[in-house]
């Protein structure tokens, strides 16, 4: 007798749950490694995580799981599943097919190479010597070319890699959007540079004791919706967010006692990521319906809170009095208007992670062009410093003086994360497009924010984005919410409007 559909699907969900328990465990260990683990714990931690990661891979690719997946896929194709179940099968199938295309040997080779490359990159950056890193980066791009051809692609090998972070994004259309942004930003920055308005970011300097910063950050996090009963804030060198389950989401931040925004900005950013994780549907835990759609959509959630909200006038209309009270020196003597301008000061910088909203995406576009060129074979690794420096000059008007603050600044390539960078810009663009839609759906959005009321906005994000998990694909979700696919128009409008006011262009 054929097995009833419900028990087949239940068995499938049980197997998926087991995989998620292992994934959660690995995430807890990864979080602990960056937050609390003592130095001497590194070796046993590496062994533990590699064993568990192997176990996870083994379970996911086992014959038993494959058989079960084929059976639910058959049930799905035969129209025996509901829409949510179909979406679950579709997404697990996607992941499984990709994993199956990569031989174990290639995966292991890449893991070994990138762990070595990471050490070499750190050394090379310390000495500002790109040549040390060249042979490793060449091998990484070689293996990544292999991976791309095994996975398969239609327009560019780059799409096969991008797909891992931004499912179904095509290089050709991403390139078009990025180049639109580039062609807008380069002349726009020249206009800002020529503005008679002088914004002074130095007024934000002061002495901000860490304990008082922590207290203020927590107030902001709570007010905008972070659930402290389903999450924690800790400290780490590089801020990040990790969710083990919607009921247990961790963020980290860092502190600089002279620069308040070093922590506050990154806290709001990570809270944005965390609100997404806390807003996923816990009843679907273990399935793709309780997972984020893509890195671009995830980043849109952090950016919309960090920039559209957290660097906006209404937000500071509400929070500025509390900030003045927490740090009377220097803020009691600074008018809100000057404070707002200083927060949004535009100045090209060599370092991506220190750049402002108006210049940030040029850093990404430069990396995208280089990655794409290397994969497609039109650029060579050894020529990178020259190419990098020329583009920095062209886009941001800056002279790169050494490799450490130039081509060697980011960790991504050493870890084999090729195709990752564009998701930062996609996130910025989605944020602008979503914010526009939210502002037209919510009657008095900015008046509410100015009163410290964030519930409607969060509810909008929850209902339209968070709760769906991977049910919709990114492009589909964007069309549902905004009436059109992702495009550069909204970001360009947002930047133009915001900075034309600040710099009186």
Interface segment toward Mg ion; rule CB under 5 A; list 218-226, 249-257, 277-285, 301-309: 301-309
Residue 110 or 169 having the CB closest to Mg ion:
169
Task: Answer yes or no: are the C-beta atoms of 351 and 175 closer than 8 Å.
Answer: no
Q: How far is CA 432 from CA 89, 239, 308, 438, in A?
A: 32, 23, 7, 10
Residue 86 or 298 having the CB closest to Mg ion:
298
Residue 438: partners with Cβ closer than 8 Å, 6 or more residues away: 445, 457, 460, 461
**DSSP-derived secondary structure for 59-99:** HHTSHHHHHHHHHHHHHHHTT-S-HHHHHHHHHHHHHHHHH
Q: Cα–Cα distance between 62 and 261 in angstroms, integer?
A: 48
Residue 114 or 302 having the CB closest to Mg ion:
302
Least Å distance, CB 256 to Mg ion, is 19
Reading the block at residue 2, the tokens are 């054929």
- Does residue 145 touch Mg ion according to CB under 5 A? no
Least Å distance, CB 292 to Mg ion, is 12
- Does residue 294 touch Mg ion according to CB under 5 A? no
> Nearest 5 degrees, angle CA 141-CA 146-CA 152?
120
Give me the residue whose beta carbon is nearest to Mg ion.
302
Least Å distance, CB 221 to Mg ion, is 15
Residue 449: partners with Cβ closer than 8 Å, 6 or more residues away: 309, 312, 314, 315, 318, 457
Interface segment toward Mg ion; rule CB under 5 A; list 44-52, 69-77, 80-88, 300-308: 300-308
Residue 163 or 306 having the CB closest to Mg ion:
306
Residue 213 or 266 having the CB closest to Mg ion:
266
Q: Cα–Cα distance between 432 and 491 in angstroms, integer?
A: 5
Q: Cα–Cα distance between 26 and 23 in angstroms, integer?
A: 5
Q: How far is CA 100 from CA 20, 58, 66, 107, 424, in A?
A: 19, 12, 10, 11, 28
Cβ count within 10 A of residue 36: 11
Interface segment toward Mg ion; rule CB under 5 A; list 88-96, 152-160, 165-173, 294-302: 294-302
* Nearest by Cα to 217 from 287, 266, 154: 266
Residues 385-414 touching Mg ion, rule: CB under 5 A, are none
Residue 68 or 162 having the CB closest to Mg ion:
162
Active-site residue set: 270
Least Å distance, CB 352 to Mg ion, is 12
- Does residue 302 touch Mg ion according to CB under 5 A? yes
CA-only gyration radius of the chain, Å: 23
Task: Answer yes or no: are the C-beta atoms of 463 and 455 closer than 8 Å.
Answer: no
Residue 73 or 236 having the CB closest to Mg ion:
236
Interface segment toward Mg ion; rule CB under 5 A; list 64-72, 298-306, 375-383, 460-468: 298-306
- Does residue 292 touch Mg ion according to CB under 5 A? no
Lookup result for tokens 């009833």: 4
Residues contacting Mg ion: total by CB under 5 A: 1
Least Å distance, CB 251 to Mg ion, is 11
Interface segment toward Mg ion; rule CB under 5 A; list 31-39, 179-187, 245-253, 299-307: 299-307
Residue 297 or 365 having the CB closest to Mg ion:
297
* Nearest by Cα to 309 from 197, 426, 456, 489: 456
Q: Cα–Cα distance between 277 and 243 in angstroms, integer?
A: 6
- Does residue 159 touch Mg ion according to CB under 5 A? no
- Does residue 300 touch Mg ion according to CB under 5 A? no
Interface segment toward Mg ion; rule CB under 5 A; list 206-214, 227-235, 295-303, 368-376: 295-303
Least Å distance, CB 450 to Mg ion, is 26
Least Å distance, CB 308 to Mg ion, is 15
Task: Answer yes or no: are the C-beta atoms of 234 and 263 closer than 8 Å.
Answer: no
Q: Cα–Cα distance between 262 and 249 in angstroms, integer?
A: 22
Least Å distance, CB 410 to Mg ion, is 14
Contact residues for Mg ion, defined by CB under 5 A: 302
């Amino acid at each position: 007798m054929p097995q009833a559909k419900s028990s087949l699907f239940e068995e499938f969900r049980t197997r998926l749950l087991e995989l998620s328990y292992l994934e959660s465990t690995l995430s807890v260990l990864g979080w602990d490694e960056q937050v609390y683990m003592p130095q001497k714990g590194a070796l046993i931690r590496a062994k533990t995580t590699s064993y568990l990661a192997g176990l996870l891979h083994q379970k996911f690719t086992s014959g038993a799981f494959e058989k079960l997946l084929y059976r639910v896929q058959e049930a799905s194709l035969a129209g025996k599943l509901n829409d949510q179940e179909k979406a679950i099968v579709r997404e697990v199938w996607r992941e499984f097919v990709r994993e199956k295309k990569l031989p174990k040997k290639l995966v292991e080779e890449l893991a070994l190479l990138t762990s070595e490359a990471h050490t070499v990159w750190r050394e090379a950056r310390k000495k500002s010597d790109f040549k040390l890193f060249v042979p490793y980066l060449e091998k990484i791009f070689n293996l990544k070319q292999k991976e791309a051809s095994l996975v398969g692609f239609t327009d560019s090998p780059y799409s096969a890699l991008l797909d891992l972070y931004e499912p179904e994004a095509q290089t050709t259309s991403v390139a078009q959007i990025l180049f639109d942004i580039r062609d807008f930003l380069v002349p726009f920055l020249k206009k800002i540079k020529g503005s008679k308005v002088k914004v002074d970011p130095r007024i934000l300097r002061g002495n901000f004791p860490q304990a008082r910063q922590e207290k203020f950050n927590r107030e902001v996090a709570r007010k905008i919706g972070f659930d402290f009963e389903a999450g924690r804030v800790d400290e780490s060198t590089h801020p990040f967010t990790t969710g083990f389950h919607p009921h247990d989401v961790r963020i980290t931040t860092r502190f600089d006692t002279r620069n308040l925004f070093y922590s506050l900005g990154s806290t709001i950013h990570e809270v944005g990521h965390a609100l997404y994780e806390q807003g996923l549907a816990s009843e679907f835990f273990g399935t793709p319906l309780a997972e984020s759609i893509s890195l671009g959509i995830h980043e849109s959630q952090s950016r919309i809170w960090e920039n559209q909200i957290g660097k906006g006038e209404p937000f500071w209309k509400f929070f500025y009095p509390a900030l003045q009270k927490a740090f009377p020196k220097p803020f009691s003597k600074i008018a809100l208007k000057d404070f707002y301008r200083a927060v949004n000061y535009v100045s090209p910088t060599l370092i991506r992670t220190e750049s402002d909203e108006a210049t940030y995406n040029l850093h990404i576009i430069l990396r995208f062009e280089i990655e794409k060129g290397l994969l497609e074979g039109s650029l060579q690794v050894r020529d990178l410093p020259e190419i990098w420096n020329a583009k920095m000059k062209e886009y941001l008007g800056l002279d790169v003086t050494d490799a450490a603050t130039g081509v060697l600044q980011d960790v991504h390539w050493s870890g084999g994360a090729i195709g990752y960078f564009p998701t930062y810009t996609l996130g910025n663009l989605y944020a602008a497009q979503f914010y526009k839609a939210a502002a037209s759906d919510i009657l008095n959005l900015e008046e509410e924010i100015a009163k410290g009321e964030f519930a409607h906005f969060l509810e909008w994000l929850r209902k339209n984005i968070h709760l769906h998990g991977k049910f919709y694909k990114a492009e589909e979700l964007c069309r549902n919410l905004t009436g059109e696919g992702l495009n550069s128009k909204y970001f360009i409008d947002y930047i133009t409007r915001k900075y034309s006011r600040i710099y009186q262009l």
